[in-house]
Amino acid sequence: MGPHHMMPRDTDAVRDVHLRDGTSKRVWAFARPYRSTITLFLVAILVAALLALVPPLVVREILDNAIPQGNRRLIVWLATAAVVSALADAALQILQRWCSARIGEGLIADLRIALYAKVQRLPIGFFTRTPTGAITSRLNNDVVGAQSALTSTLGSVVSNIIVLITTLATMAALEWRLTLLSLIVLPTFIVPARRVGRRLQDISRRQMQHNATMNTQMTERFNVAGAMLVKLFGDEQRELDTFSTQANAVRDAGVSSAMLGRVFFVALGLVGAIGTAAIYGIGAWMVVSGSITAGTLVALAALVTRVYQPLTGLTNARVDLMTSMVSFERVFEVLDAPEPITERPGAIDLPDSGGEITFNSVTFRYPAAEEHSISSMEQRSIPGADPDRNILTDVSFTITPGETVAVVGSSGAGKSTLVSLIPRLYDVTSGSVSVDGQDVRDLTLSSLRGTIGVVAQDPHLFHVSIAENLRFARPNATDAELASACEAARIHDTIARLPDGYDTVVGERGYRLSGGEKQRVAIARLLLKDPRIMILDEATSHLDMENEALVHDALTAALAGRTAIVIAHRLSTVRSVDRIIVLDNAGIAEQGTHDELVRANGLYASQLRAGELLSATE
């Protein structure tokens, strides 16, 4: 018996679990492409179980017939049969491993691809509520747990059943009384085995909890921001002591698990030895009395050791199977998550866009959590994350092609929400948003979002080179086109001075670049995309005067001839736009040019007198 037969399973987690209707059919739907391989896998298990009976029967025949008869020819044939069965068994073991690997790795890839595709389609609200670790856990741990249902668990259960049936049948055919005798000692093993299993589960659960705490500390401390915070505010010795406590707890649990497992396997060997001794002892009396032959006794002694292993494995078969199936259900939970942002049947591509944007009586409130999240993946509820109130109410305006409009307002006024409705990160609750006269809900998402470019307050850069970050907007862009976009964004000279130039890896979230440099790389990426509509969400906030001037120059070049919506709170940004929309109390308080709004002496003017255009973020 290998150690994997006693791997601790969380019995408590699956004791009262009832699979949803249709789960088995969905599992089979994923397994269907591998049905021929699964069939071959099961046939190999069956044939291997039958071949394992050959050696004891060969020994019986040699002792009972070949040796007493002095039949050398029969001895050669029997020895050859034993060698052939061993070679065939070795080949079948390799075949089983190939089948298992092909099914398991193929299923893992299929599930991960399906999950990745699904997660990409989920609304932005899902990502605001769900920790990244919970998402990656479903793509890793649960996917691996699910595939084990069709490889380790299925193979183990089928193999144990076949081995048990064939072994008991063969033993009964040889001598039924000794077969019953061999089963008498089973309760002395199975009952302690279940108790040991529960104890191993408790140890494993504690080990996983300490592991999770230890991994969380590493994840939080080993990114750039976390490492810097520890160095500036933390105590390295205190951090080490905290980590050491968890690492030592994992060690202690591992030692306990190893020792308990070893004690169990020693006990298993002892039970097997007692069963074998009972067969030899009582069987010897039967040989002397002439009830059975010596060959039969030796064969039974060899076969009896094959009874205990499958019976032990089958005692935990339900737990193993349910654990694997629960992993499948957790995968299906993600695959079944709602997709509120989808293309309508017959959605059309947006024609070459002029860039006109129209909001027609738009009202918006964030959808309920169940419409865009998975409760089991949220670590904790976020009060007020989806306020049950209108963020926008009856908002109407039109931005003409090539016009630049600034949106200002206090924190929570709905500035970022408003611009998120244009690329359909959310859908309006009522009313409509149109681009060039086409309701955005009637357009294909690829054509709509291909027309829109965004630069956020904190632009995201991947942990790859500058060139790769830029080519995320246009994968086939040439080096000359990269340089041209960066020159327009006023960042080319800075990149050229770097030791690796455009091949410089920017670090996690672009941490190796300053805030202004990241903004200008993001603007270059935007220019490389060459959209007709640009959305700038606080693109110059938190920049020093030098960086703001550079970014402002870059934005001036970027906005030329394009429709643009600029969320801003700095007077230097909003003065030069064609129109300013002031949001307040979920609606438009006023709109006009800077001079017009100053003369109107309304909310905008009062904000100016207060020395602010209110918050930079929402």
Domains of the chain, with CATH numbers?
A: 3-335 (1.20.1560.10), 357-451+531-609 (3.40.50.300)
Q: Using one digit for the tens of pLDDT, what is the confidence trace for 142-186?
A: 787 777 767 777 778 888 888 889 988 998 998 888 888 877 766
Comparing 508 with 432, the larger pLDDT belongs to 432
pLDDT tens-place string over residues 122-146: 888 888 777 777 777 777 777 877 7
**pLDDT for 187:** 67
Average pLDDT over residues 343-358: 88
Distances (CA, A) of 337 to 96, 332, 334, 387, 529: 36, 8, 5, 21, 31
- Looking at per-residue confidence, does 560 or 403 come out higher? 403
Which tokens sit at 42?
């099961």
Q: What is the mean pLDDT of residues 101-126?
A: 86
Distance CA 156, CA 314 (A): 9
d(CA 203, CA 319): 17
Highest mean pLDDT: which range of 209-223, 519-533, 569-583:
519-533
Average pLDDT score over residue span 91-95: 94
- Helix (DSSP H) and strand (DSSP E) numbers for the chain: 26, 10
What is the pLDDT at residue 421?
93
Q: Which of 567, 478, 466 is nearest to 525 (CA)?
A: 466
Q: What is the pTM of this model?
A: 0.74
- Of 458, 451, 450, 427, the C-alpha closest to 537 is 458
- The yes-or-no verdict on residue 305 having pLDDT over 80 is no
> 400 with 356: CB under 8 angstroms?
yes
Q: Output the pLDDT for position 609.
A: 73
From CA 64, how far away is CA 60, in angstroms rounded?
A: 6
Nearest by Cα to 331 from 17, 42, 27? 27
Position 354: which residue type? G
Query: What residues form DSSP beta bridges with 566?
Result: 406, 536
Res. 320 pLDDT band, cuts 50 70 90: low
The 8-class DSSP code of residue 383 comes to T
Q: What is the chain's mean pLDDT, rounded?
A: 81
The per-residue pLDDT for range 518-545, each reduced to its tens digit, is 888 888 898 888 889 999 887 666 556 6
> Which of 153, 138, 148, 147 has its CA nearest to residue 109?
147
Q: What single DSSP character describes residue 505?
A: B
Looking at residue 94, what is its pLDDT? Answer: 95
- DSSP label of 422: T
Q: Do 403 and 419 meet the contact criterion of CB atoms below 8 Å apart?
A: no
Token pair, residue 334, equals 């993600």
d(CA 423, CA 421): 6
Percent helix, percent strand, percent coil in the chain, to nearest 5 = 65, 10, 25
Model confidence band, residue 615 (pLDDT cutoffs 50, 70, 90): very low
Confidence of residue 384 (pLDDT cuts 50, 70, 90): very low
- Residue 362 pLDDT > 90: yes
Q: What single-letter DSSP state applies at residue 370?
A: G
Residue type, 385: A
Dump pLDDT digits (tens) for 28-82.
888 888 889 989 999 999 999 999 999 999 999 998 888 888 888 999 999 999 9
Give the pLDDT score at 511: 76
9: pLDDT strictly greater than 70: no
Angle, vertex CA 142, rays to CA 138 and CA 143, nearest 5? 95
Least-confidence region, from 223-232, 286-295, 608-617? 608-617
Q: Which of 218-222, 319-323, 379-383 is predicted most confidently?
A: 218-222
pLDDT digits (tens, 9 = 90+) for 397-446: 999 998 999 998 877 788 888 999 999 988 999 999 999 999 999 999 98
Res 188: pLDDT? 64
Position 480: which residue type? Answer: A
Collapsing DSSP to helix, strand or coil, 11 comes out as helix
Q: Tokens 């009396």 — which residue?
A: 285
List Cβ<8 Å contacts ≥24 apart for 252-257: 253/203, 253/204, 253/206, 253/207, 253/210, 254/207, 256/203, 257/8, 257/200, 257/203, 257/204, 257/207
